[in-house]
Amino acid sequence: MNPKIKWLRDKINMENMQGMIISNPVNIRYLIGVEAEGVLLITRKENFFITDARYIEEVQSILTINDGIIVNNIANISRDDYENFFLFCENVGFEENYITYATYKKYMQRYKINNFEETENLIEKQRMIKDDEEIGFIEKACYITDQCFSHLCEFIKIGKTEKEIAYEIENFFREKGADGLAFETIVASGKNSSKPHAVPTDKKIEAGDPITIDMGCKYKGYCSDMTRTIFAGYVPVQIQKIYDLVLKNELQTMREYKDGASIKLASKMVENDFKLNGYDLVHSLGHGVGLEIHEMPFINGKNDNTFKTNMVVTNEPGIYVPGQFGVRIEDTVLITKSGCINLTKSDKNYIIVDK
């Protein structure tokens, strides 16, 4: 049997469940490597993937006998079949953070489940800890992203638009063999940089603009995430102080990122230092990165957990002055036993393009 399914079966057994319904496509991708609409059923003795005619051929070409997954066409499953899947199961788990209230009600009716148990992100929590193959894919995605950044430092000139830069990023990723974007690229220049989630516009880069570039690609399904705020022509004096404060905190955070360290504390340190200087940390300090661009752990002042070896997370403090400008610096980082390894290698000092 596929080792991730084996892990899951052991885990649900330990939690006194005899089955589980997995509906979240990212979790299904993680467990069995399949990207198709469908639902994965872990029953007392067997594992079923129920999909529809559009995907049957492809799914069967990916799964092997060693995966131990029975593939079913949803069109061939009768009402009795549904009722039999979890016969003799006391407790069956479901993904309460993924399925809608309406689907919950439908599952309750369809599967005739005795006790339908919330599984509290069982699989998402396992996904936090990356194996060697996953780390390799993320490293590759980060490497392509670093290359892209080097290219941009030459490519960006005064007069280019934010959209032109965003398109260049996407094309670069493709040419270098990435699957595509990990998320919609942010290129926010001048005043636009004051919006943490700005969308690229037709605004042209002007001399003195800060340019915040938040970008990432996917490689074999796994994401990278980096942000730099760079400058066109020169670094305006009033931005320097804030840039230095953000960078200081980013570097300091790197020393807090290690196995066993408090996630809450890492976030609180930045929040406090920003407050002392009259600013707020208006978004999370970071998040896990993997098959999803934002996944567990979420690094903020409310997370009571600790960092663990082989988590991959971002470190991304930012300060935004409404209507004026913003600065964010972000790396993708691998947590290790004694500290962390920065998978994003690009320079973080002042970078001036089109000098």
Quick one: DSSP state of residue 192?
A: G
Which residue among 125, 157, 174, 264 contacts its own copies (CB under 8 A)? 174
Q: Binding to its own copies by residue 350, rule CB under 8 A?
A: no
Q: Binding to its own copies by residue 58, rule CB under 8 A?
A: yes
Q: Return d(Cα 34, Cα 62) in angstroms, integer.
A: 7
Q: Binding to its own copies by residue 355, rule CB under 8 A?
A: no
Q: Return d(Cα 120, Cα 186) in angstroms, integer.
A: 32
Beta carbon of residue 45, minimum distance to its own copies (angstroms, whole number): 27
Residues listed for the chain: 355
Of 46-54, 136-144, 207-215, 303-311: span binding its own copies (CB under 8 A) = 46-54
Assigned token pair, 245 = 């404060």
Q: For the chain, state the CA radius of gyration.
A: 23
Beta carbon of residue 315, minimum distance to its own copies (angstroms, whole number): 18
Of 91-99, 226-234, 265-273, 334-342: span binding its own copies (CB under 8 A) = 91-99
Residue 163 phi, psi (nearest 5): -65, -40
Spatial CB neighbours of 231, under 8 Å, sequence gap ≥ 6: 208, 209, 210, 211, 239, 350, 351, 352, 353
Which residue among 3, 14, 79, 102 contacts its own copies (CB under 8 A)? 102
Q: Return d(Cα 104, Cα 116) in angstroms, integer.
A: 9
Q: Return d(Cα 141, Cα 178) in angstroms, integer.
A: 7
Which residue among 98, 143, 183, 350 contacts its own copies (CB under 8 A)? 98
Nearer to its own copies, 201 or 342 (CB): 201
Q: Say which residue the tokens 């079949």 belong to.
A: 81
Q: Binding to its own copies by residue 99, rule CB under 8 A?
A: yes
Beta carbon of residue 100, minimum distance to its own copies (angstroms, whole number): 6
Q: Return d(Cα 354, Cα 342) in angstroms, integer.
A: 28
Q: Binding to its own copies by residue 272, rule CB under 8 A?
A: no
Chain residues in the site for its own copies (CB under 8 A): 36, 52-55, 57-58, 94, 96-105, 118, 167, 171, 174, 194-198, 280, 282-283, 322-323
